[in-house]
Structure 1
Amino acid sequence: MATVQNSVEAKGIVVALKGNAWLVDPDGSRRLLKVGDEVQEGQRVVTENGAELELSLPNGQQVSVASARELLIDATLLGTAPLDATEAALKDLNSGASDLAQALAAGGDLLTELDPTAAGLTGGEASDSHGFVRVLRIVEAVDPLSIGRGPDDVTNDLNLYVGTATGLAEGEVPPVPGITLVPTITLDANITANDIINQAEAGQNIPITGVVAGDAKVGDTVTLTVNGNTFTGLVQADKSFSIEVPGADLVADPDKTIQASVSTTDAAGNTASASDTEGYQVDTAPQYPRSRWMPTSQQTTSSTKPKQTKTSPSPASSQAMPRSVTPSP
């Protein structure tokens, strides 16, 4: 059976776009579409809620994709599907007319003289007919899933109807299969100047800071868990966050470790989360200032010792020795 296939790579072109739409590759990666972008076979076009997109096909037809829809770009849509050349050849359908005339002239029974028609469970032979049946188009117009077009575009309309995923509310964007979000979160290394909670800081609120990256975005919620309690904050414009935690909870935390997590969701409903931990120390012993002055006795060093002076008693200060006096006779 001979086949004919277009060897030129066919592409569709985005000619109109209102709102956001994504092009999803077969490997699951995606990127935002803009007017002038090309779409190829195997890719998918996904529109967000409220978006409208129009593609120009290689055959000149226009295809509209409405809000919250997903369209697979395949060979049939692009017009590159292989065709059987023999299917376009028409057999001489007048050949049976002469058989009919001969049967009538001979007075024969048409039911026995002619081939049976394609009726019943087994059908008839394909001697005077084509051996294939082709369904050219099936159009199922189910309001409101039909794509509205202006009156001037009706003749060029492809009559494309794309349904929404089950279980979704009206206008809700269905998640895109195969897309994986990868957010990250990192806590700063020190929660105080020396990463140690002292006695004064134990009575204060300590700001716990860090950054997010990857698919995490501005406005996502960051959750901290300390001493069994949770504290939340939002990601700022520079992808950083700062959440105050009471010093008393930091001191009372059993393992002196902060748990942090961030959760993110994209416009198509895909969700993901990331987490990080950071340890710290606690030293709430009283801190006494060291005096600048020390007692004189403690300022003596081994190299400077007081000199010892031995003093001998002077003769004048010596005690007179008693003398024995004998009276004269």
Structure 2
Amino acid sequence: MAKEAGVVKSLSGKAVAVDQNGNERELKVGDIVYMGESVKTSDAADKVTIVANNGKELTVLGSDTLSLNPNTIGAEGLADISALQNAILNGGDLTKLEETAAGGNAAAGGGDGVSLGEARFAEGGHYSNINENYRNLTDTNRAFASYDSPIGGYADGGTGAEPVIIPGAPTVTFISDADNDGTLGRVEHLADNSANTSKVLIEVPNDGTVRAGDILNVTVTDPNGVQTTTNIVITPNIIANGYPLDAPVEKNKTSKVEATITNFQGNESEKGEDSVKVIPEVINPPTVEFTNDGDGNHTLNRSEHANDPDPSKTKVVIKVPNDANPGDKLVIEVTNPDGSKTPLPPVVITPEIIRDGHPIEVPVERDKKTTVDAKIVDKHG
């Protein structure tokens, strides 16, 4: 059975352990790693810290590999690695375990020296790219830094502490509010999926202050003032493309979406927000024209009706207003000469109908009235 080398103390992003046969397993906090394994990270934002069996910490940053062998781990110190594992998982005091393992503080380097074979780090900090091909590093002011980044890497001054990262604020946008005036008119609202929702896009900064694994905190205030908060784990896709959602909306009421980001250090960004009010707008009515009623007196005389090929019918054209949109529906109902009503199938308005109108034929009888009623309904009803 492979010898235990250490325990995963902390993990941000993803890390895997690969044994000498190439078998790979994903690591989580509290997992034991073994001699002969290699710990690998693949993304610039990945970071894993391992407490070795001598109580010392080794950190792998970015896209990197740490081989677990006597050269990198050093001498054994803990009689029972399960005590270290339990302390990590239960929030115990690791210092006591480390002092027991190491027999007290190291004699040199202020008590935080780390001996890796012949390579000695006289100051604390992150180190990686450690393998059997190592050599002495003579710069005692900057012990080792194979990875520099605004959000990780070597901490100057020998403190070993990471710099404080304050994530940038997210940007919240109601997409259909094309003129960004805080209101949704009828035409703008047609871009939404339904009359009761409006599309929102929350974009997170891609400037290095936010990374996968951070938390996007989204609070939606609905038209009745009820707030709902959702916490979303940020993924690479969210960083690249943003986080979309549909916010509830109602006519003459305001809806608001707010968002902040909490990063791996527990620091919270400033707030981004946007709001809209749906403004109801009435569509202008269509115009109904009996084509052969030349004088517009709502009657058909003999000469006018002679233009209709079928004496039992007459031609009608329904013209739609300019504020109608392709995709709106034309709803028509005919009141027949006998007083019965005939609803016609809804007609989807096309650019051609907007330009030329929609022609139909309706029944007529001598000395009896025929009526055509028409209205326009958009996709939200």
Q: Considering the TM-score relative to the shorter chain, is it more than 0.5? A: no
Larger RCO (alpha carbons 8 Å, 6+ apart): 1
Larger CA Rg, structure 1 vs 2: 1
**TM-score normalised by the chain length of structure 2:** 0.29
**TM-score normalised by the chain length of structure 1:** 0.33
